[in-house]
Amino acid sequence: MELFFNAQLVLALRKHHAANALIVALNSSSLFTLALRGGLLIKLACAEFCQKTDLLDRALKAAEGGLERLIFFHANNRHLEFHPVKKWWQGTHKYRELKAFWQVTNPQPPNPAPSSIGDTQKSLVVLGIETSCDETGVALVRLEPRPLKVGQDQTPATGTILSQALHSQIALHAAYGGVVPELASRDHVIRLAPFAKQALKDASLTWSDVDLIAYTEGPGLAGALLVGASLAQGLGYACGKPVIGVHHLEGHLLSPLLEPDAKTLVFPFLALLVSGGHTQLMQVDGLGRYTMLGETIDDAAGEAFDKSAQLLGLGYPGGPEIGKWAVTGNASRFDLPRPLAKRPTLDFSFAGLKTAVLTHVQKLKAMHALDDQARADMAASVQAAIVDVLMNKTERAITETRIQQLVVAGGVGANLMLRARLKQLQQDGRCRVIFPAPSLCTDNGVMIAWAGGLRALSREQGAHAGPFTVRPRWPLDQV
Determine if residue 290 is left, alpha or beta; phi over 0 gives left, psi from -120 to 50 gives alpha, anything else beta: beta
Q: Which of 323, 329, 453, 467 binds ligand ADP (CB under 6 A)?
A: 323
133 scored as a contact of ligand ADP (CB under 6 A): yes
Nearest Cα to 405, choosing from 277, 259, 302?
259
Among the candidate windows 91-99, 114-122, 135-143, 289-297, which touches Mg ion by CB under 5 A? 135-143
Residue 340 half-sphere exposure, CB side, CA atoms within 13 Å? 22
Q: Which of 412, 451, 456, 470 binds ligand ADP (CB under 6 A)?
A: 412
Q: Which of 156, 236, 410, 436 binds ligand ADP (CB under 6 A)?
A: 410
Of 68 and 477, nearer to ligand ADP (C-beta) is: 477
Q: Which of 156, 234, 294, 317 binds ligand ADP (CB under 6 A)?
A: 317
How far are the Cα atoms of 113, 173, 352, 374, 444 from residue 315, in angstroms, in the given order? Answer: 45, 11, 22, 16, 22
Please state, in angstroms and rounded to a whole number, the distance separating the CA atoms of residues 282 and 287.
13
Minimum Å gap between C-beta 444 and ligand ADP is: 9
- Kindly report the backbone phi and psi dihedral angles of residue 389, in degrees, each rounded to the nearest multiple of 5, phi listed first: -60, -45
Minimum Å gap between C-beta 317 and Mg ion is: 8
Minimum Å gap between C-beta 226 and Mg ion is: 17
Instruction: Write the DSSP assignment of 273-316 as a string of letters.
Output: EE-SS-EEEEEEEETTEEEEEEEBSSS-HHHHHHHHHHHTT--S
Minimum Å gap between C-beta 392 and ligand ADP is: 17
Q: Which of 234, 245, 411, 445 binds ligand ADP (CB under 6 A)?
A: 411
Of 164 and 405, nearer to Mg ion (C-beta) is: 164
CA angle 273, 275, 276 (to 5 degrees): 155
Minimum Å gap between C-beta 160 and ligand ADP is: 22
* Amino acid at site 433: V
Binding to Mg ion, residues 436-465 (CB under 5 A)? 443
Q: Which of 187, 211, 299, 306 binds ligand ADP (CB under 6 A)?
A: 306
> Strands (DSSP E) along 311-388, which ranges?
none
84 and 50 Cβ atoms separated by less than 8 Å: yes
Polymer length in residues for the chain: 479
Among the candidate windows 170-178, 291-299, 407-415, 428-436, which touches ligand ADP by CB under 6 A? 407-415
Please state, in angstroms and rounded to a whole number, the distance separating the CA atoms of residues 454 and 204.
23
Q: Which does 412 bind (CB under 5 to 8 A by kind): ligand ADP, Mg ion, none?
A: ligand ADP
Q: Which of 145, 234, 242, 320 binds ligand ADP (CB under 6 A)?
A: 320
Burial category of 253 from C-beta neighbours within 10 Å (exposed 0-12, middle 13-18, buried 19 and up): buried
109 scored as a contact of ligand ADP (CB under 6 A): no
DSSP class of 209: G
How far are the Cα atoms of 50, 348, 390 from residue 83, in angstroms, in the given order? Answer: 10, 47, 52
305 scored as a contact of ligand ADP (CB under 6 A): yes
DSSP class of 4: P
Q: Which of 242, 318, 329, 339 binds ligand ADP (CB under 6 A)?
A: 318
Determine if residue 46 is left, alpha or beta; phi over 0 gives left, psi from -120 to 50 gives alpha, anything else beta: beta
Binding to Mg ion, residues 314-373 (CB under 5 A)? none
Among the candidate windows 132-140, 294-302, 336-344, 412-420, which touches Mg ion by CB under 5 A? 132-140
Site of interaction with Mg ion (CB under 5 A): 133-135, 443
Site of interaction with ligand ADP (CB under 6 A): 133-134, 275-277, 302, 305-306, 317-320, 323, 410-412, 414-415, 442-443
